[in-house]
């Protein structure tokens, strides 16, 4: 890819988008693995009915893969993106991921606010 100029970026835009999406894939895959580990150990989620339960021991494999994802594969994806496609796809992919963090914070705030309101209504009901 031509690392300099908008012409090089536009000409190789599909490749740049693919490079930027690799960062997102690695990050989201790690989040999914950590979510599985949390659902396995958190009392709020542990006893939920699930159509499929993984065999014993898989939670440790998921934890190991999640721990491996962040330092090795994420850094590797960033390095390859920078080496092959330049900094712009890496910056774009990271900016798109960073844009979702405030949305996640807002959703967590709303969930806690709704739970607190429901708890207050439950406590206010006459017995």
Q: What residue spans define the domains of the chain?
A: 6-124
pLDDT at 55: 85
- pTM for this structure? 0.62
What CA–CA distance (Å, rounded) separates 84 from 14?
A: 13
pLDDT band at residue 30 using 50, 70 and 90 as cut-offs: confident
Q: Which token pair is 94?
A: 């990271």
Region 73-99: mean pLDDT is 75
Angle at 54 between CA 48 and CA 55, to 5 degrees: 125
The residue count of the chain comes to: 127
Coil vs helix vs strand at 59 = helix
Whether 5 has a pLDDT exceeding 70, the answer reads no
Q: For 53, which DSSP code?
A: -
Task: Select the more confidently predicted residue: 124 or 93.
Answer: 124
């Amino acid at each position: 890819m031509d690392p300099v100029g908008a012409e090089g970026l536009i000409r190789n835009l599909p490749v740049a988008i693919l490079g930027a999406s690799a960062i997102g894939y690695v990050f989201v895959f790690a989040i999914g693995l950590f979510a599985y580990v949390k659902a396995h150990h958190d009392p709020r989620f542990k006893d939920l009915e699930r159509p499929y339960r993984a065999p014993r021991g898989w939670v440790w494999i998921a934890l190991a893969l999640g721990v491996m994802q962040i330092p090795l594969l994420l850094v590797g994806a960033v390095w390859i993106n920078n080496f092959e496609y330049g900094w712009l796809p890496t910056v774009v992919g990271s900016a798109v991921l960073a844009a979702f963090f405030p949305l996640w914070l807002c959703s967590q705030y709303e969930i806690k606010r709704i739970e607190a309101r429901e708890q207050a209504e439950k406590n206010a009901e006459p017995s």
